Chains A and B, each alone.
Chain A
Amino acid sequence: MHSSLYLRTALTGKSTFNSYSAQYGVLVHCIDNLKSGYSSSFVSAEREFALKKNKLNALVYYLHSYPSSILGENNFGFKLNYETSHWDLMLGNNSRRYALRKDFRQQLTPEQQQDYKISEWRNLLYRICYRIKPEEHLWNLKAGVTNSDFFHISQATNPMLFTEFNYLLNEKLRLNCSVFYKVAGSMNLQADYFGYFIRTGIQWKIK
């Protein structure tokens, strides 16, 4: 939980060849209470299928992160993404493994060193998003609910509300700005404000 401002910067890329694509990215802490430097990186492989007039994407991914100086985390899973002109729906499964990092483990007894990881195998991933214009439009406004973003995967029962605005500057450049709002405990019917984060960036299409 961050009780103050944090700032992270990311670089992501996506290479496409026919119906196949690979995506990759790295996230670095700039201002953060808990840590500095490298935060997370991910890689994913994706295939696009045509389903009637719409797109269906099947994707597998791996996300590595260091949430703190003594914790590591690995996430991997798959997603199915179905898009119509206005709806963007995603369903998948994430497996998460928390681990104590090697430097910290060395301070423990040999017996305690055996218990350095905890796995959560089944976690539903979802996104339900509505965009007011078709995807290729000059500008667009989306809103929806999800439990994952590029470098962030919440538990299934901790949804985030989000809205995104994007604007096509020219045929190569698109501006994006998203706001994600998080509460705690809404699925326990006892919701409390938790926080929000803003993600902004620019997409550059290279042919």
Chain B
Amino acid sequence: MENKIKYFFVVIFAVLLHGCDLDFSGFVKPHTPVNKRFAQSNQWNNSQSPRIVFIADTSYTVHIAGDSHIGSTNSIQALFDSSATPKTTALFIAGDITTGKKDDYDVLKKFTDSSSGVCYNFMVGNHDLYFNGWKSFYQYYGSSSYTLSVVTPTFSDLFICLDSGSGTLGNDQLKWLRDILTNYRSSYKNCFVITHVNFFRNRMGLTANPNIEEIHVLLDLFAQHNVNYVITGHDHYQYEETFGETTYITMDAIVEGFKNPTFLKLNISKEEIQHAFIPLE
């Protein structure tokens, strides 16, 4: 019996090691820990102008997607095409944009350099960090933890983008998030949090969520500060839950070959927020 148990674990380990676009060194420790990434993001934020979008209209649209896993740029091209409209104020991609490989970041950089008319905002997912991918992300796109304000003639909204690529925000980023919500949330009408790793498990799967202690802290924080939406990717299948005032959304993947790729469209006005999953064509 005891030998059978040992053989079972050897087989499981061998199956896990059989991967292609995966970086198994990350199973033990990250190339760049989350606190260090956040420090770099913060440094980058301080060297740039704040992300503020002023619009003349009293309603606007935001597009959010996740998990493009570049490789190929067909999906992200379709997403950018859908977002290149005057009404679309911003596009967010909530992580797993690439496979983490330098070549894929180069493809993405070439693509974004040739695109115009889209206010895109990226944050990292776990795949973006494989193969020391943070180095490329930081070099090309800078921060993965930042805020974006949308100012209309009658109200202002706050978008908070977080780096959860390691499955945790880390102490420093959590403190920053708490400070923003405590000191600035009340200045805005609506507040949206966008990050990679989804919070709830509506199905069994191998992807990891934040540890339960961190989920408790974040649920508490988002409820206390009336966060309207928490939008994530990572799990590749759409799912939504409402918890008090906060709607938690997990988005479909848009990776090429995925059966039903969709992105999330938010229509925001002073009176209401509407959301819809739009098929990516």
Q: Which residues of A contact B (CB under 8 A)?
A: 1-3, 34, 67-71, 73, 84, 86-87, 89, 98, 100, 104-105, 108, 112, 115-118, 120, 122-124, 128, 152-158, 182, 184-195
Contact = CB atoms under 8 A, between A and B. Distances in A.
B106 interface: no
Contact of B220 (A67, A120, A157, A194): A67
B181 interface: no
A112 B211 contact: no
Nearest to B166: A192
Given A1-B168, A67-B216, A187 B208 contact: yes
A123 to B, nearest CB: 6
A153 to B, nearest CB: 7
9 contacts: A87-B5, A105-B244, A108-B245, A128-B9, A153-B212, A184-B211, A184-B214, A185-B126, A186-B27
A192 B201 CA distance: 20
B171 A185 contact: no
B200 interface: yes
Contacts of A128: 9
Nearest to A1: B214
B273 interface: no
Residue with the highest number of chain A CB atoms closer than 10 Å, among B168, B207, B242: B168
Contacts of B219: 68, 71, 98
Interface-central residue, A105, A122, A154, A193, by most chain B CB under 10 Å: A193
Contacts of A187: 206-208
Nearest to B201: A120
Given A123-B204, A188-B197, 17 more contacts: A2-B213, A84-B2, A98-B219, A98-B243, A108-B245, A117-B243, A154-B212, A187-B207, A188-B166, A189-B24, A190-B30, A190-B129, A191-B27, A191-B29, A191-B167, A192-B34, A192-B168
A66 B176 CA distance: 25
Nearest to B19: A189
Contacts of B26: 188-191
Contacts of A157: 205-209
Given A189-B22, A190-B166, A184 B208 contact: yes
B211 A182 contact: yes
Interface of B: 1-2, 5, 9, 22-24, 26-30, 33-34, 126, 129-130, 165-171, 174-175, 197, 200-214, 216-217, 219-220, 223-224, 234, 241-245, 248
A23 to B, nearest CB: 21
A75 B200 CA distance: 14
A130 to B, nearest CB: 9
Contact of A185 (B166, B243, B248): B166
A90 B97 CA distance: 38
B212 A155 contact: yes
A195 B214 CA distance: 11
Nearest to A6: B213
Contacts of A86: 2
Nearest to B242: A115
A192 B244 contact: no
B82 to A, nearest CB: 28
Contacts of B23: 189
A120 B200 contact: yes
Contact of A122 (B126, B203, B208, B217): B203
A194 B170 CA distance: 8
B27 A189 contact: yes
A117 B224 CA distance: 15
A122 B201 CA distance: 8
A158 B209 contact: yes
A185 B198 CA distance: 12
Given A184-B210, A192-B170, A116 B200 contact: no
Given A1-B217, A71-B220, A193 B174 contact: no
Contact of B130 (A2, A3, A112, A190): A190
A158 B171 contact: no
B185 to A, nearest CB: 16
Contacts of B175: 3
